[in-house]
Amino acid sequence: MNRAFILAACRTAVAPRGGAFRLVEAYDLAAPVLRACLDDAGVASDDVEHVILGNALSGGGNVARLAALAANLPPTVPALTLDTQCCSGLDAIQLAARLVESGAAQLVLAGGVESFSRSPLRATRPKAKGEAPVFYDRPPFTPWPARDPEMIEVLARAANGYSRERQAAFAIESHAKALAARARLEAEIVPVAGLAFDSFTRALTPALCARAPVLHRDGESEVDAAGVAVEADAAAMVLVASREWAQRRRQAGRPICKVFYARSFGAAPENPPEAIDQGLIDTAYDNGLMNFDILHDQGVQLDWARIPVVELMEASAGQALLNCRNSGLDPTTLNRGGGALARGHPIGASGAILAVRQFHELAREAPQALGLSAIAAAGGLASVLMLQRL
């Protein structure tokens, strides 16, 4: 089988909605990152065969095509935008890998971009003459209203069993990791609009978390603003390539990763965290990470020690803690450079940011080391990407 490889991985900083990127259109966030990936890999624009970007909020159109043209790629390069909500950026990379593995392409730029700040206002058309349009914040994620909860409700349920103090401790650690890793994080960031670092990251404290407003309660379970990732703007890309291109990159002595495993998952539409749980368990099974010598209350223990780099989406502290508990992941080993709680959640770009982080953390590991990224999306979806450092 043909294998796919990642030759370069770049991103913008992540800025909260209404922050440094408030006037930057989504395609203008993506364009410099596309260029940076090509420049880093020493690849000419004419060699790119496709651009695939995830996006959730642009309201239709083809953001990938606009970004490719804004990046001065030849107009002959096709571009595709896909929307699987939070999974979009990681799914775009998976699709690019499939193109390369099938032999349909040799070089594909893939990732995600999102701008909460510049997202359009959305409304449904009137059903009868004289009625006004009905504005809405999000589309339906299932065909059944009773099974289509708001995401904050889902996150509150996921936090069941975790006190606000425990959620706060997880969020504090995420920010602390990001602050400690700031120098190496900036090495993967392409400056846009004068911003070259993740501007939301801060020295979070228990006292600050205690003052954070509660966003939702579900029985005894509650989530507050400190434990939920903020809406944000960002773009993130990788360059996916064939073995032939990978050999050229390797000869130059630059970091390179093989796409080791990539898969999407589904679960009950009202329970996206369950999709990550299933995705992590199936990923472990598919890759021989079951440790049948260690049993716990859920059965076989997963041997995550063989994967030193894990980037798990932190939509909320409760969700991340729940996924760790159900899969056996150690929360302290996740997200070495901090997670979305310390950066923000630019929906269509979040999965791609995990892949970029995974690529750069694997560059610090020994050859053959494995990494994993996992993210869930509204409607009960999840995506997993495993890379191997060469």
A 10 A CB-CB count for 273 gives 23
Query: Per the domain annotation, does 134 fall within a domain?
Result: no
The CATH number given to whatever domain includes residue 43 is 3.40.47.10
> Is 378 part of any domain?
yes
Residues 160 and 82 in one domain: no
> In this structure, are residues 282 and 386 in contact, taking their beta carbons and an 8 Å threshold?
no
Q: Are residues 249 and 285 in the same domain?
A: no
If asked whether residues 376 and 239 sit together in one domain, one would say no
Q: Are residues 21 and 169 in the same domain?
A: no
pLDDT at 254: 85
347 shares a domain with 298: yes
Domain identity same for 172 and 152: yes
The answer to whether residue 383 is domain-embedded is yes
pLDDT-flagged residues of the chain (< 70): 290-301
With the CA atoms of 19, 24, 29 and 35 taken in that order, what torsion angle do they form, in degrees rounded to the nearest 10?
A: -130
Q: Residue 340 is part of which domain span? A: 147-186+211-229+260-389
**pLDDT value of position 294:** 43
pLDDT computed for residue 220 by the predictor: 79
Separation between Cα atoms, residue 225 and residue 365, nearest integer Å: 34
pLDDT tens-place string over residues 274-317: 999 989 989 988 998 865 444 444 444 677 888 999 999 999 99
Q: Give how many domains the chain has, as a whole number.
A: 2
- Measuring CA to CA, which residue among 100, 5, 108, 114 is closest to residue 54? 114
Task: Quote the CA–CA distance of 333 and 308 in Å, as a whole number.
Answer: 8
What pLDDT was estimated at residue 290? Answer: 64
Looking at the fold, whether 219 and 344 belong to one and the same domain comes out as yes
Residues 107 and 179 in one domain: no
Answer whether residue 33 is part of any domain.
yes
Task: Look at residue 167 and tell me if it is in a domain.
Answer: yes
Q: What one-letter code names the amino acid at 53?
A: L
Same domain (yes/no): 168, 301:
yes
Asked if residue 199 belongs to a domain, the reply is no
| Residue 340 half-sphere exposure toward CB, CA atoms < 13 A | 36
Same domain flag for 313 and 276: yes
In this prediction, residue 291 carries a pLDDT of: 58
Is 136 part of a structural domain of the chain?
no
At 249 the pLDDT is: 81
Residue 196 lies in a domain: no
Are 286 and 364 within one domain?
Answer: yes
CA dihedral 94, 97, 99, 104 (to 10 degrees): 180
Axis-axis angle for helices 26-41, 63-70 (nearest 10):
60
**Residue 248 shares a structural domain with residue 334:** no
- Gap between the Cα atoms of 67 and 202, Å rounded: 31
Which pTM value belongs to this model? 0.96
